[in-house]
Amino acid sequence: MNDRQYSGIPRWADAFVAAIGLIVAAPIMGAIALTILATSGRPILFRQKRVGRSGRLFELLKFRTMVVADTGPQVTSRNDARITRLGRLLRKTKLDELPTFWNVLRGDMALVGPRPEVPRYVNQDDPKWSVILSVRPGITDPTTVALRNEEDLLARAYPDVETYYRTQLQPAKLTGYIDYLQQRTFRTDLSVLGRTLAAIIRHS
């Protein structure tokens, strides 16, 4: 399995768009960074190991939206007490994901592709994961757009959100990722970007 088999937006286009995105969003990112620093201190960025293409680990970057803590589940529900007031706004508008453009520029991720998962939720012996990990993970994809209310679904499963995620939500996401990859093209990737932007504007 390789990027050619499930080809979408070319790598050079991903990198170009990510670079432009970082430049254009620089003033907004600076303002967010200062606000995080003023309201909840350091660190400004959230860094977490995720599983990328071919099972390679990389460090995902986002703006920090939660209090600094080493405990709690690695999936987050809407009513999670660890989310800061500013964090709720950043999550709702998806502005917390702006630093992820750096991951795209580096080649860790693509604009469109299966969302990267934390290592504890990845079973590389599962044939589904073999397909999913044959491509770069993405910032968005059709399943992510469809499950934009994922945090609300997890909130309904409180307090055992991890069990619900492992047994119900993640299997549905894996199936969705594979279904998309099997019919993925340059045009479908562009369509996903358009739908993602529309969803962000509508829900914000």
CB distance 132 to 141 below 8 Å: no
* The two structure tokens encoding residue 13: 């286009």
Predicted structure pTM score: 0.90
The per-residue pLDDT for range 41-91, each reduced to its tens digit, is: 999 999 999 999 999 999 999 999 999 876 666 677 667 788 999 999 999
The per-residue pLDDT for range 118-149, each reduced to its tens digit, is: 999 999 899 999 999 999 999 999 999 988 77
Task: Report how far apart, in Å, the C-alpha atoms of 95 and of each of 21, 88, 189 are.
Answer: 12, 10, 21
